[in-house]
Amino acid sequence: MYLALVNCFGMDHLPFVFSARPRWVVARHGSFWVAWYLFQVYLYAFTPSPLLPALGFGARLGLTALESLVYLLPHLFLAYSLLYGIIPRFLLPARYLAALGWVLLLLLLTGALSAGLSLTVLATLRAHYLTAYFGPVVVAANPLSLPLQFFMALMGGLRGSITVGGLAAAIKLMKQYYAKQQEAARAELAALKAQLHPHFLFNTLNNIYAHAQETAPVAAELVLGLAGLLRYMLYTAQAPLVDLEEEVRMLRAYIELEKTRYGNQLEVALHTPTAYQHLRIAPLLLLPFVENCFKHGTSAVLEHPWLSLDLRLVGTTLHLKVLNGTAGHPPAASGGIGLATVRRRLALLYPGQHHLVTLAEEELYLVTLSLDLARPAALEPPVIALAHELTPL
């Protein structure tokens, strides 16, 4: 039902509210400020100031039209400072203390601006307006002292500024919330649609395995290994954390699958722990290091390709060392997109808990990683599982 409402009343169907096109932005903001201006004009036309003579409604309406137009300046200043300064830079990133400080400063500046306009520009406009309407004898001096006048004008200016600033901020936050809700609903819909594709894939692999068992047993074993890897990547690896033992078992399965492709030509030195102390790790964090060996290393070595993977646990610290031969041309030290991605994941999930070094030489590539697993990783957003279990073969 919620997804249906999203499709029917989504942002694409409300361009006046959500569109970023200039004409819609101008129309949206223009409508807001025109409505606010007219509201101010008619509101204060019904509440004459005791410092002014008893004017009729028509005279008060003309005066408040002038005053409301001048007061739009501080209102615009506060509203757009909130919309494009405080909210995106401090409130949305959850920097609440800084947001509170900036809001208080903006209110003070807005009140001072309103008071300054009231005592200078508006005082002159009122005098001219009332003189033209009643004659020069009508204008009376304000009995309050200048500091008290400024204070009263500041309080009065804050009243309107806080109202319009709060209203504009509320609309902005409601739009942000609605947009996030729609993005989440669309992502969920896409994930639900994507569930069909892994189901078809696993069924196809089952059929290939069944036909290849008698005619091509090696190919059948490759299909079975590939199905196991896909099951892990699309099902188990959807959890924020997995058992380290499972992750290492997947690495060994991946290496075995690649060894079959090379026959007896690939030399592999593989060392993994015998006990894992029930440690957990972010899924698929180690695979890019091994995958990089085959993609940029052994696949380009024509004679005697080799790979060495040493994985050890010292207390709760995981030490990974991966070496592979190259074809005489040193690869880029960054290792390509795969290693760039894993660097980013390490920085986000294990800040201050890891040390990664890559070294590219003429005939070998080296990766060393130290990773403290004592503290859980900063959990990634949960992802809906996109795969069904592989049916028994």
Q: DSSP secondary structure string, 133-148?
A: HH-TTS-----S-HHH
Mark whether 79 and 143 lie in a shared domain.
yes
In this structure, of 203-217, 264-278, 328-342, 346-360, the range with the lowest mean pLDDT score is 328-342
Q: Which of 40-54, 209-223, 362-376 has the lowest mean pLDDT?
A: 40-54
Residue 220, domain member (yes or no): no
Question: Regarding beta strands 317-325 and 306-314, do their DSSP bridges make them parallel or antiparallel, or are they unpaired?
Answer: antiparallel
**pLDDT given at position 310:** 94
CB atoms within 10 A of CB 160: 21
Angle value at C-alpha 370, between 368 and 371, nearest 5 degrees: 135
Residues 73 and 144 in one domain: yes
Residue 167 has pLDDT above 80, yes or no: yes
Domain containing 326 — which CATH number?
A: 3.30.565.10
Please give the C-alpha separations between residue 10 and each of 78, 170, 183, 377, in angstroms, as whole numbers: 30, 20, 10, 35
In a domain, 127, yes or no: yes
Question: Both 258 and 169 in a single domain?
Answer: no
Q: Which of 165, 194, 223 is the last residue of a domain?
A: 194
Position 82 scores a pLDDT of 92
- Contact (CB, 8 A) for 117 and 76: no
Check whether residue 178 and residue 282 sit in a common domain: no
What is the layout of strands, in order, in the sheet containing 364-372?
267-271, 306-314, 317-325, 364-372, 354-360
Same domain, 280 and 182: no
Query: Is the confidence at residue 203, as pLDDT, over 60?
Result: yes
The answer on 290 and 158 residing in a single domain is no
pLDDT in tens, 229-277: 888 877 777 788 899 999 999 898 888 888 877 766 778 889 999 888 8
Tokens of 311: 């994985």
Return the structure tokens found at 313.
């646990």
The three-point CA angle 285-290-291 to 5° equals 95
Reported pTM: 0.47
Name the 3-class secondary structure at 103.
Answer: helix
* 124 plus 6 within the same structural domain: yes
The span from the CA of 361 to the CA of 332, in Å, is 9
Q: In the numeric block, which tokens belong to residue 118?
A: 């009231």
Contacts of residue 263, Cβ cutoff 8 Å, sequence gap at least 6: none
Q: Specify the DSSP class assigned to residue 280.
A: E
Range of the domain at 124: 2-194
Half-sphere exposure for 348 (CA within 13 Å, toward CB):
12
CB 165 within 8 A of CB 78: yes
Neighbours of 264 (CB within 10 A): 6
Is 129 in the same domain as 188?
A: yes
C-alpha closest to that of 382 among 244, 279, 285, 241? 241
Q: Which two tokens stand for residue 120?
A: 């200078």
Q: Has residue 81 been placed in a domain?
A: yes
- Residue 268 included in any domain: yes
- Whether 24 is in a domain gets the answer yes
Task: Judge whether 207 lies within some domain.
Answer: no
Same domain, 122 and 257: no
Listed range (11-20, 57-66, 211-220, 252-261) with the worst mean pLDDT: 11-20
Of 7-21, 79-93, 195-209, highest mean pLDDT: 79-93
Whether residue 74 is predicted with pLDDT greater than 60 in this model: the reply is yes
| Domain stops at, among 156, 175, 194 | 194
User: Mean pLDDT, to the nearest integer, of 329-350?
Assistant: 72
Residue 219 lies in a domain: no
Please say if the pLDDT value at position 67 is more than 50.
yes
Same domain membership, residue 293 and residue 146: no
* pLDDT surpassing 80 at residue 117: yes
pLDDT at 189: 65
Same domain flag for 75 and 153: yes
d(CA 207, CA 201): 10
Number of domains in the chain: 2
In a domain, 146, yes or no: yes
Residues in the chain: 393
Contact 284, 237 (CB under 8 A): yes
Largest CA distance in the chain: 113
Name the band, by pLDDT with cuts 50, 70 and 90, for residue 388: very low
Instruction: Write out pLDDT tens, residues 123-164.
Output: 888 778 777 766 654 445 566 677 777 888 888 778 888 888
Please check whether residues 182 and 259 belong to one and the same domain: no
Of the listed ranges 23-37, 296-310, 345-359, the least confidently predicted one is 296-310
